[in-house]
Amino acid sequence: MTDNGYDLLDQFDTAPYEKRVQLFRTALANGRLDEDTAFEMLSDLYDDTAVHDARSLFDEWVTALRTQAPELYAGIAGYLLEWQITHALVDGRTAELPALSQQLAQQAASFPNEVVVTGEKLAYYGQLDTLAKMMSTAWPHIQNADFDEWAVEEFAVQGMNYAILNYVATAVSPDPTDPHLLALLDPFAEIEADTLTEYLAQVTGQTNRSWQPSDFAVPPQSSNAVEIPDEVDANLTQLLREFMHAVHSEKSLPLSRAALAYWPLNEYLLSRLEESARAYQPRRKKAGRFERKTYGLSPLCPTTISLAQFLSNMLELVAPQHYPTAAILSVLPTWLRFLHNRGLITAEQQAQTELGLQELLPELREFWGDMPTDPALVACVME
């Protein structure tokens, strides 16, 4: 940043909102902006427009930058597009989302994190079709860039999942041999026919399995390294996929939001299963045998302490995962109702867990941070 940029930001930082707008416009018109200064000023104006409920004005300033200083715009385009999409989501301007998200997808090689975070936002707000198409457009840019292999594979898996769910949500009769579905998935990776058939059957409710709590029982283990049987792991995967179908059928919340919660919820529930296996405090009976201490809450239900720790860890990352965290909080009441309907928890366990979730919210607010740009995130921990 130049000395001129530092001087300009000093004025900008202490100015009121209206003066900030004027300073940005004047600096842009006079050619006083460099890339860093433009980013800092628009970053603050992004927050300002949220606070003043004037989000649509932000688009005007981004358009002005793109028109008058295209080279500066190109260097920060990914950030600006993510912010524009966020404002459009909050304002309900859904008609603007396809074009904005496609522009961002084209920038995926330079702004991969912004694509991923924007995908989380689109998923939370139920914009599944826009999300699936953005992931598809971004994929070749991600695939051909110099990123860690695990990150590329993770992006491909997410892209395939959203493509499948979007197909399920729009197809009259989902079919694993449908050439349209196969064409959507083929760019990401080769998928075995049996795997796709099983996946579709589970997320469309065709399996209709009768579950028992014993299907998720992990043998007691005294060591810290708990081994979850493959069968239990597979059962949890299937149960979560059947939950996707329940969400889609009930239409109680967006399918894409449930999909956003899928992976962290799966990770958390696996930790609960491990916890249930470690919750082993042997007490010697008179007959000389050990007995396992029993607990009243199903490991498929969250506990206040463990969930608070899990979610706070998500929020304390370098890049806090606000939207996946909010998605988990949003789907948990539906998840508990689903478990009760499937005979996996009792009405008492459901009520006990729901009460614990309400007790969790005040503690979680401490980790939430200030999120003025999206009131929906604030609302999810204030209810």
pLDDT tens figures, 73-99: 999 999 999 999 999 999 999 999 999
> Is residue 247 one of the residues assigned to a domain?
yes
In a domain, 138, yes or no: no
The answer to whether 268 touches 356, Cβ cutoff 8 Å, is no
Question: Residue 33 domain-assigned?
Answer: no
Secondary element (H or E) of residue 213:
none
Give the pTM.
0.92
Q: Once rounded to an integer, what is the mean pLDDT over residues 143-167?
A: 96
pLDDT at 286: 44
Question: 250 burial class (0-12, 13-18, 19+ CB within 10 angstroms)?
Answer: exposed
Mean pLDDT of 353-370: 79
Tell me how far apart the alpha carbons of residues 290 and 246 are, in angstroms, rounded to a whole number.
41
Domain that holds residue 257: 213-383
Q: What is the pLDDT of residues 240-255, one digit of tens each?
A: 999 999 999 888 889 9
Does residue 34 belong to any structural domain of this protein? no
Average pLDDT over residues 229-239: 96
- CB contact at 8 A, 337 and 357: no
Is 195 within the bounds of a domain? Answer: no
Decide if 144 is inside a domain.
Answer: no
Q: Is the residue at 86 inside a domain?
A: no
- For residue 91, tell me if it sits in a domain: no
Average pLDDT over all residues of the chain: 90
Helix residue ranges, H only, the chain:
3-14, 17-29, 35-51, 55-68, 70-91, 97-105, 112-124, 128-143, 149-170, 179-185, 193-203, 230-250, 255-278, 304-315, 322-341, 347-368, 375-380
Q: Number of structural domains, the chain?
A: 1
